Structure 1
């Protein structure tokens, strides 16, 4: 490829000397590059005299074939470089369904209007999977990162709350300590961890100490919308993240319990394949995501 670039520079500039200046090479380096290319092709590319340099017939035919290819390559390089600084092209993102519904969806339109050359492919799914193998550029996921070669960038912490409806608490009483949830008088709603396939543990964190209880439950759910529906029916208690229930807490439709154990957190992470030179479209989406966070 270097020899063909040198050939094009000589044709464009009209001399070995000027080609060397354009390419920031020595004149002897230009001559050696052409000699290697001629040896590889087994043809003479130039007729050289003390006064001028001209392509041979074979040289003209060869240059006519490679000229468009070199121009296309330069255009591709320029386009790739522009893609590093301009938000354009297709961006495929794996997103956590709950986070996407609560925070991303309501403001996505404004982001897309700012970047009309971006084609965004959002896939809401309950697990990270094989980010690169599945063709994703980026993922935004709730939960602790698993062991992986991906770059994991923490975006925020959500708080884990234990909640119920006022009607449930009037009927069954308000638990005073985590162990109360294991009593026959309380019903709890389990939520399945997509990473393990098992229900999340009921954990209570306070001052660096973790208490785990095993409450009775007849139902295990794996979809946040269904969890909200069952919870709001007054069926039982559930552990949820704060961003999922803020409107219900403000209105009084849900009540937090066991608030003396306030320290459990559930993080939101961004994942991408490499920390080196992420394209502008990836950086723009990450900046947008950051702007959505409380």
Structure 2
């Protein structure tokens, strides 16, 4: 058991890149993690890691040892998950990362059904529109919209995010109701969204009868977080293109008005993404299946 613990500690240090992050993710004191690595190197009589004040890098021997260790630990986890009642009663700590609006408007309101089904899972829910590093941050899975960029990860598409163009009544009183997308370039203002990862401004796109437009409209404000984006739209700062499920409550109470309804906006694909070495975990599978079912049944996510 001590040898297995040492292997897990070593693998976590390699994945996290620092002793501090590894210790935090394992809920162990940093001194314990350091001693485990020192004892491992002494037993193997090789140097596995190069330490600096900021980061840990892997030696050639360390890389070879990690490759074999990761496979062994994955096989062990698979074996344990297949035994007993792990498949029907998954348990343990699960770290999931979700975008802000999906978390507050969809995931969190429905979580009681997840805990009713899986009472022995402890959920750590990270909420942010900023991408995370699943490996170094020790995240089991994320739910994100948009096309995938990291092909090394495993992804399951669980729905689409339809889009809608809206503005506040106050904005429309001041600037008028646009009759077509081109009118947005003549005296109107947009609330834009830029990528938290790259800083790239997301385009304002429209399609109708085979015609596609991508407008480079003047914007008054651009944000990189979905709740702030909604706040800017409600404050009357400009015309916004947002996912339909965010807008529906505000359309119902009149604080937002749909504009240009005859012009479609490309929908955004939504995925559950997880590292390839965790695809057999019962607790990860239980959350992925629950989320997929939740999204499939939602009227504004298909």
TM-score by length of 1: 0.68
Q: Residue 208 and residue 288 in structure 1: after superposition, are their counterparts in 2 closer, same or farther (change >3 A)?
A: farther
Aligned to 1:179: 182
Q: Following the alignment from structure 2 to structure 1, what is the Cα–Cα distance between the partners of residues 143 and 268?
A: 13
CA shift, 1:254, in A, is 1.2
Aligned to 2:154: 151
CA shift, 1:198, in A, is 2.2
The answer to whether the 8 A contact 2:205-2:265 is kept is no
Name whichever of 236-245 and 119-128 sits farther off: 119-128
TM-score by length of 2: 0.66
1:240-291 Cα offsets, whole Å, 9 max, x none, are 1111111111223211112222141012111122388522211211222123
The answer to whether the 8 A contact 1:90-1:120 is kept is yes
CA shift, 1:163, in A, is 0.5
Q: Residue 79 and residue 257 in structure 1: after superposition, are their counterparts in 2 closer, same or farther (change >3 A)?
A: closer
- Equivalent residues, number: 219
1:30-179 alignment runs, 5 A limit: 78=80, 81-82=83-84, 83-179=86-182
Aligned to 2:251: 249
CA shift, 1:212, in A, is 0.7
Aligned to 2:221: 219
CA shift, 1:102, in A, is 0.8
CA shift, 1:131, in A, is 1.3
- Structure 2, unmatched stretches of 5+, are 1-75
The answer to whether the 8 A contact 1:201-1:213 is kept is yes
Aligned to 2:5: none
Q: Following the alignment from structure 2 to structure 1, what is the Cα–Cα distance between the partners of residues 138 and 236?
A: 42
The answer to whether the 8 A contact 2:233-2:240 is kept is yes
CA shift, 1:84, in A, is 4.4
Q: Residue 158 and residue 172 in structure 1: after superposition, are their counterparts in 2 closer, same or farther (change >3 A)?
A: same
Q: Residue 84 and residue 235 in structure 1: after superposition, are their counterparts in 2 closer, same or farther (change >3 A)?
A: same
